[in-house]
Structure 1
């Protein structure tokens, strides 16, 4: 029993300095093209487009949520926010890499606003659960927003504060979402990319709180 408890504690606590798995120098193999959009998976964002990273628990359902959103140009799943370079799925599941499962979202702000994406993020999962999302338990399943511009960071923090007020009014717990400038992103294995497009009846753990999020309008330039 002690052994099982110890494993669980490691899964729900970030590894301390020096504890993270060593990883590897080279990226792990992944898909060459997006299964839905048919674009190269590692395509750079076109001029004027933006990139942001969302963690909402299991990345299978989260990625589908965004690739189905008009104005999203490309998505990919991977690992971010930890210490282990180029981790594998099995390694992240131990909780000893520190990474969260995240979705890389490249979008056209002329077609879908950041505010709309943030509203979708907040309303589509439960950001109050700490190191879990429903029955998925572990550091990999924590709620995260990793931004790539100062404007995105400001908007994400403002949206968090607005949603926190709405959740409090509804009697819900405090938000535990990690919000910061994007750390390095490592692409997940090919099997995980666009998983629910390849396996339409596969597992999706997304469950919102039922509380509406009114995202503040961005400040005027």
Structure 2
């Protein structure tokens, strides 16, 4: 799908067939937070799904938020192939992008704060890439779980576009779509909280430097280390 050409999303007819059930097991608990990855989660918690490039560094951005995150896990979303593998997603033939699922307590952590982390942690104008990572699986995306989240996400996109335009950046390419139409498939166990278990591992996350205003009562997020080689990422277990 790539081989030096511009990445193109496959149609449903072109996509790999997939399978009715996953062929790998997801760990029971979050490496850092100690909470169940797949639930059950306390009543009142909400879910948000974000695609912002390589999900290793992206996931860390959210579990490092000061408070309110119940758990995070990485996976694949936005495509056609059921229960894909990482290698299939990287082929460009599933239509999925790499995403981080964030389960959070809205009484402690607002959707606006999550969106601030999302927008500032990557360049949402790059289309099918983030920096040196090129492919449909690196596109920017938000998959919403409630109408309120969809409204808030769209409003934040408009606000951030004004800021980007004023700073000389191009149009945002982020897709905002309902999660009900785009199932989330957890990634393999070795991808979950990868940078907690491999602190020197590759992190391709980097923003534009354009910042949104801080929601009231929040702290700045931790930054991702740079300069770590990418070599070996695809098959590193």
Is TM more than 0.5 here? yes
The alpha-carbon deviation at position 32 of structure 1 amounts to: 2.1
Listed as ranges, the gaps of 5+ residues in structure 2 are: 217-237
Query: Which residue in 2 is equivalent to 1:43?
Result: 39
Query: Which residue in 1 is equivalent to 2:49?
Result: 53
RMSD: 1.7
Match status 1:20 vs 2:19 = no
Give the one of 132, 137, 140 matched to 1:140.
137
1:7 is paired with a residue of what secondary structure?
coil
Deviations 1:171-221 (A, max 9, x none): 10100001111120001000000000000010111111011124899xxxx
Q: How many residues align?
A: 212
- The range that moved more, 114-123 or 16-25, is 16-25
Give the one of 45, 57, 66 matched to 2:62.
66
Select the structure that is richer in helix. Answer: 1
**Change over 3 Å in CA distance of 1:179–1:216 after alignment to 2:** farther
The alpha-carbon deviation at position 50 of structure 1 amounts to: 0.7
Deviations 1:9-41 (A, max 9, x none): 4x7110023110111111132222211122221
Query: Which residue in 1 is equivalent to 2:3?
Result: 7
**Change over 3 Å in CA distance of 1:195–1:216 after alignment to 2:** closer
2:3 is paired with a residue of what secondary structure?
helix
**Change over 3 Å in CA distance of 1:52–1:6 after alignment to 2:** closer
**Change over 3 Å in CA distance of 1:79–1:34 after alignment to 2:** same
Aligned pairs (5 A) from 1:1-221 = 7-9=3-5, 12-29=7-24, 30-69=26-65, 70-182=67-179, 183-214=182-213
**Change over 3 Å in CA distance of 1:128–1:215 after alignment to 2:** farther
Determine the C-alpha separation between the residues in 2 that align with 1:206 and 1:164: 19
TM-score of the superposed pair, with normalisation by structure 2: 0.86
Listed as ranges, the gaps of 5+ residues in structure 1 are: none
